[in-house]
Amino acid sequence: MSQSTEPKLPEEDVPESVTRRKTLISFGVFALAAAGSTGLYKYIADSKNALGVKRPLRLVLNENETVAKTYFSNTHLVPTFDPKQAARPARVNGYEGIKKPVADDWQLQVERSNAEPLLLSMDAIKALPKYEITYEFKCIEGWSQKQHWAGARLSDFLAIYKLGTRSGNAPNPDQPDDLFNHVGMETPDKGYYVGIDIESALHPQTLLAYENNGQPINAQHGAPLRLIIPVKYGVKNLKRIGRIFFSDARPRDFWAERGYDYYVGL
């Protein structure tokens, strides 16, 4: 398009009183809008905290979870890479919940509806089909790193041990109401804990991991068993799982209590 297609700006002859009035009204509205937005900022800044972040912001973050769930799908997979590209060793970032050595008699404790808690050894986890994944691990701080992990699918684990449901049956995609809304996990010392929505827990790339780069995971990475959940930031990838439980209410979450978004779904 040449400039000839750009129309001239409309012009008008008006009395000076009109330009004066228009100017006054415009600047009045402008001042009001400026005061309004300053007021909005003050309102947010002066609000009480809800889990370490201003309440109005927390409410929107929670709504963002609702939005994210409308397009969340188990068929949306994290891109995977050749294991040769994985970092050796994988980066360690944080020691909450694993500051003391793991107990020799470590067992995985899993709460069940209408039944005694399950107590499982590593052999029980290793008996499940083993999956490997090399993907870009993403820290909430902003860094990312290609890492190679192996373990059992959390969804297989829940299916075989009939967990996560009110009925005590295996999770059934046709009966979403039977599922609890959340999975909670804690380290044995309860020094670190996360809550995860059940959809993300059942994602096919979510693993109960026991190997990193083909070797049993070391103490710093959360031996003997940790969560690898590529649909979440690293903060949800709990190390040294001690206890797993299910609930409709959000389980408490270490970093959400410190002002971070609870969902942090990628």
Partner 1 sequence: MKRIVHKHPLAIRWFHWINFPMLFVMIWSGLLIYWAYDPYKIQIGDYVLLSFFPDSFYKALKVPFRLAEGMAWHWVFMWVFILNGILYVAYTVISGEWRHLVPDRRSFREAGQVVWYDLGLRKTQPPFVKYNGAQKIAYFTVMLMGIGSVLTGFAIYKPVQIAWLTTLLGGYEAARLEHFLLTVGFVLFFVVHVIQVARAGWHNFQSMITGFEVVKPNDPERPVSQPVAPTPDPTPPTQPALS
* Contact flag: residue 82 with partner 1 (CB under 8 A): no
Residue 80 or 213 having the CB closest to partner 1:
80
Q: Which stretch binds partner 1 (CB under 8 A): 73-81, 96-104, 110-118, 217-225?
A: 73-81
Non-local CB neighbours of 150 within 8 Å, separated by 6+ positions: 130, 131, 132, 133, 207, 209, 210, 211, 212, 214
Q: Does 104 interact with partner 1 (rule: CB under 8 A)? A: no
Angle at 116 between CA 115 and CA 118, to 5 degrees: 110
Residue carrying the six token digits 């410190």: 258
By CB under 8 A, tell whether 215 contacts partner 1.
no
Residue whose C-alpha is closest to residue 243's, from 225, 260, 261: 225
Regarding 53 and contact with partner 1 (CB under 8 A), the answer is yes
Q: Cα 134 to chain center, whole Å?
A: 19
- Range 188-207, binding partner 1 (CB under 8 A): none
Residues 141-170 that bind partner 1 (CB under 8 A): 141-144
Q: At what angle do helices 55-71 and 16-45 cross, to 10 degrees?
A: 90
Binding partner 1 (rule: CB under 8 A), the pick from 46, 48, 66, 71 is 71
Q: CA 118 to CA 67: how far, in whole Å?
A: 35
Stretch 5-44: interaction string toward partner 1, x if CB under 8 A: xxxxxxxxxxxx-xx--xx--xx--x--x---x-------
From the CB of 62, what's the least distance to partner 1, in Å?
11
Residue 232 CA, chain-centre distance (Å), reads 4
The identity of residue 138, as a single letter, is K
List contacts with partner 1 (CB under 8 A). Answer: 1-16, 18-19, 22-23, 26-27, 30, 33, 37, 52-54, 56-58, 60-61, 64, 68, 71-73, 76-79, 136, 138-144, 230-231, 255, 258-261, 265-266
